[in-house]
């Protein structure tokens, strides 16, 4: 059935093409499609121990964005690697074929792997596992917007579940600039019509930023406002992550 001839036939999806409703954003009374306030994040759901086969794992659900992250290790580094007296971090982010509304589109985010690596690198105490590697693998089950920040937060929860030593939990939030408004935790449609975006990954208890990414046009007062929004949201997100870990620990003690 699947193997009819060598090449796959060309197919198209019968869904209507998404029209960019960019004009409506310029209206004064524009409301976010899911009814949230401009400075309101989506409700966050976390659960650790989602994957039995991994040393540590976590599942995160922020609205329609669903991510699973597995952590393996510390385990033997590849034989080809040079000796290293600090540990190594290896990351990978991949999408399922059904993550985006149209099959196959929107899964071209190869840079997320490198960005996840840079975000987590600063927070992990690499000296605690010399000569070995910790692998962090993320799978995006459904992409509903703001994927990378959710992946980073979920990855740090999975690392905590695996018992990897870190300086602090890492929380990440992004903000989109839509004409004059700043909206936090954008969904897919908002990200597509944004003029600029800002993503901050920080360690809230230490008030230190591990990664900061700007795209698009930003003026200095907007930058200040955006960063403050993100840092406040990260602090709240870290509280939610901590309570999830505490719940999991108390459940396992019973």
- Taking the least distance from each CB to other proteins, the nearer of 56 and 204 is 56
The CA-based angle 221-226-229, given to 5 degrees, is: 130
Cβ atoms of residues 95 and 105 within 8 Å: no
- Least CB distance to other proteins at residue 152 (A): 16
- Taking the least distance from each CB to other proteins, the nearer of 116 and 233 is 116
- Taking the least distance from each CB to other proteins, the nearer of 1 and 82 is 1
- Least CB distance to other proteins at residue 209 (A): 27
- Least CB distance to other proteins at residue 93 (A): 9
Q: Angle between the 111-121 and 147-162 helix axes, to the nearest 10 degrees?
A: 50
In angstroms, the first-to-last Cα distance of the chain is 50
- Least CB distance to other proteins at residue 98 (A): 4
The CA-based angle 142-145-149, given to 5 degrees, is: 95
Residues that bind other proteins (CB under 8 A): 1-5, 8-16, 50-54, 57, 68-70, 72, 75, 92, 94, 96-98, 101, 103, 135, 137-139, 141-142
User: Residues 21, 26, 30, 33: is their CA dihedral positive or negative?
Assistant: positive
What are the two backbone dihedrals, phi and then psi, of residue 222, each rounded to the nearest 5 degrees? -65, -40
Cβ atoms of residues 165 and 11 within 8 Å: no
- Least CB distance to other proteins at residue 68 (A): 6
- Taking the least distance from each CB to other proteins, the nearer of 101 and 122 is 101
Q: Which helix (H) or strand (E) holds 136?
A: strand 132-142
- Taking the least distance from each CB to other proteins, the nearer of 103 and 206 is 103
């Amino acid at each position: 059935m699947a193997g009819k001839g060598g090449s796959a036939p060309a197919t198209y999806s019968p869904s209507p093409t998404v029209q960019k409703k960019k004009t409506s954003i310029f209206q004064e009374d524009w409301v976010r499609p899911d009814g949230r306030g401009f400075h309101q994040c989506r409700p966050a759901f976390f659960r650790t121990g989602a994957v039995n086969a991994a040393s540590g794992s976590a599942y995160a659900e922020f609205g329609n964005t669903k991510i699973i992250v597995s952590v393996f290790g510390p385990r033997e580094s590849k034989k080809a690697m040079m000796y290293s007296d600090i540990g190594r971090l290896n990351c990978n982010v991949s999408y399922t074929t059904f993550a985006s509304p149209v099959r196959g589109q929107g899964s071209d985010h190869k840079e997320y792997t490198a960005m996840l690596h840079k975000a987590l690198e600063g927070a992990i105490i690499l000296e605690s596992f010399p000569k070995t590697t910790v692998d962090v693998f993320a799978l995006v089950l459904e992409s509903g917007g703001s994927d990378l920040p959710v992946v980073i937060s979920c990855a740090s929860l999975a690392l905590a579940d695996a018992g990897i030593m870190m300086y602090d939990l890492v929380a990440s939030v992004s903000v989109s600039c839509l004409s004059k408004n700043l909206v936090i935790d954008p969904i897919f449609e908002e990200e597509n019509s944004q003029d600029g975006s800002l993503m901050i990954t920080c360690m809230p208890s230490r008030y230190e930023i591990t990664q900061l990414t700007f795209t698009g046009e930003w003026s200095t007062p907007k930058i200040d406002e955006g960063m403050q929004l993100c840092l406040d949201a990260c602090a709240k997100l870290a509280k939610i992550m901590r309570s999830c870990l505490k719940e999991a620990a108390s459940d396992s003690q019973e």
